[in-house]
Structure 1
């Protein structure tokens, strides 16, 4: 953030927040959306491969569940982030097998405001 302040000649003494400085520069924070985009690409790759990683991601491993509230899984967090109201969990997994649909879904999820 210091380099944007230096380019715009905004001192720390001016008491401008980082968000205000980003607005002045007409930029935004892109790291979070980059991380989510890469996670979605990786998830699509794993679902198409159908290997042991696919079994681990979908949770189809034998054993007992632990007591209490279940932990939020990696796939669950991607489901909620990718706006699951439009897609059910099975549609989410099925769309990963079709590369064009998955790419479109990834782009739409990453281009939403607030991501």
Structure 2
């Protein structure tokens, strides 16, 4: 929000609501993009470490599957948003930090998914 205030030359001491700044610039908030970006960065952080979170996220833990309809996995949503074909390909890309960050930035820029 600070960049919009800066563009409109509104000082930080002025008591303007964020909604008024958004209405002046004719823009809308997009919280889904922030959520997707944070999910992707957290996923990359988990996949670079070989711990229990990695096993749970990839589904490689022992036990039985619950009954009923399968829920949509977070990893499937990330794969479709980033435009990656498979889970294995996505995990390989998380190993290279610069490539992963570039993919996230590209998805944020082009708004895929």
TM-score (norm 1): 0.70
> Gapped runs of 5+ residues in structure 2?
1-15
CA change 1:51–1:4 in 2 (3 A) is closer
Unaligned runs of 5+ in 1: 9-20
CA deviation string 1:12-53 (max 9, x = no partner)? xxxxxxxxx4xx614332322112111111110000011111
The 8 Å contact of residues 48 and 95 in structure 2, kept in 1 or not, is answered as yes
RMSD: 2.5
Which residue number corresponds to residue 47 of structure 1?
47
Q: For 1:4 and 1:78, locate their aligned partners in 2 and report how far apart those are by CA, in whole Å.
A: 30
Q: Which moved more, 1:73-82 or 1:99-108?
A: 73-82
Q: Which has the higher contact order (CA 8 A, sep 6+)?
A: 1
Structure 2 length-normalised TM: 0.71
Structure 1 residue 114: Cα displacement: 6.8
Looking at structure 2, the residues matched to 56 and 92 of structure 1 have their Cα atoms a distance apart, in angstroms, of 16
Equivalent residue for 1:99, pick from 91, 97, 100: 97
Deviations 1:85-109 (CA, angstroms, capped at 9, x unpaired) = xx32211110001101100111111
Aligned residues: 98
Given the superposition, is the C-alpha separation of residues 65 and 28 from structure 1 closer, same or farther in structure 2, using an over 3 Å criterion? Answer: same
**C-alpha distance in 1, partners of 2:79/2:26?**
30
In 1, the alpha carbon distance for the partners of 2:19 and 2:54 equals 45
CA distance in 2 between counterparts of 1:3 and 1:108 reads: 31
Check if 1:89 corresponds to 2:87.
yes
Structure 2 CA distance for partners of 1:74 and 1:114, relative to 1, 3 Å: closer
